[in-house]
Each structure stands twice: as C-alpha cells, then as structure tokens.
C-alpha cells in the first residue's frame, strides 16, 4: 500500500512539475497518512531541492510525544511534518516567508 502511495505521490509531483508546480497545500495534504520514510526518500533523490542545496536532515520533538521532520521545499520555505510514534505523518506546517503565496 505504501509503495503504491509513494508511486502516486511521485507521479503526481512529476506530472505537475512538467506543467506546473503543485501547491504547497496539495503537496502537504498528499503526505498525510504516509510513513515519513516516503518523504525522506523523495528528499534524498539526486534531483531534489534538498540535495541541490546540501540539506542536512532536521528533526525535533513535540510535547505531545510526536516529532517533526523538516523538508526544505524552496528558498525560505520548509515543510514541518508532524510524525506520530509509528512514523506516520499526521499533519504539516509550512514555515518561512517563501511559503507565503503557495
């Protein structure tokens, strides 16, 4: 099931990048329910924005027992994914002034 969702997410991103970039909301919404490893795989791809800028993985704990995985989306814009104890993404928050009009 997760491989099918990864392929769908990857295909959707690829299709959108050919014609237009998906909105930050559409991208973030599509990650909810996925294992965080799916996003990590996308971030580590050679052609990803994160790889091009030399991104180093960032995470931090939340008071509710969840934790946050940070993905750089574009200059001055990061997506902070809230991840539960089973490594499932349960929410996200765009952070940075570069996210403002996305």
**What global pTM score does this model have?**
0.78
Residue 4: is its pLDDT beyond 90? no
Residue 16: is its pLDDT beyond 50? no
* Tens digit of each residue's pLDDT (9 = 90 or more) over 46-66: 999 999 999 999 999 999 999
**Which long-range contacts does 25-31 make (Cβ < 8 Å, 24+ apart)?**
25/102, 27/73, 27/79, 28/79, 28/81, 28/92, 28/94, 31/79, 31/81, 31/89, 31/92
> Domains of the chain: which residue ranges?
2-99
């Amino acid at each position: 099931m997760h491989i099918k969702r990864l392929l769908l997410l990857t295909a959707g991103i690829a299709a959108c990048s050919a014609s237009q970039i998906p909105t930050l909301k559409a991208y973030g919404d599509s990650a909810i329910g996925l294992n965080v490893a799916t996003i990590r795989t996308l971030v580590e791809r050679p052609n990803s924005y994160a790889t091009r800028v030399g991104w180093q993985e960032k995470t931090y704990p939340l008071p509710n027992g969840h934790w946050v995985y940070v993905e750089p989306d574009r200059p001055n814009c990061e997506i902070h994914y809230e991840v539960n104890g089973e490594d499932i993404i349960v929410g996200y928050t765009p952070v940075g002034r570069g996210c403002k009009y996305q």
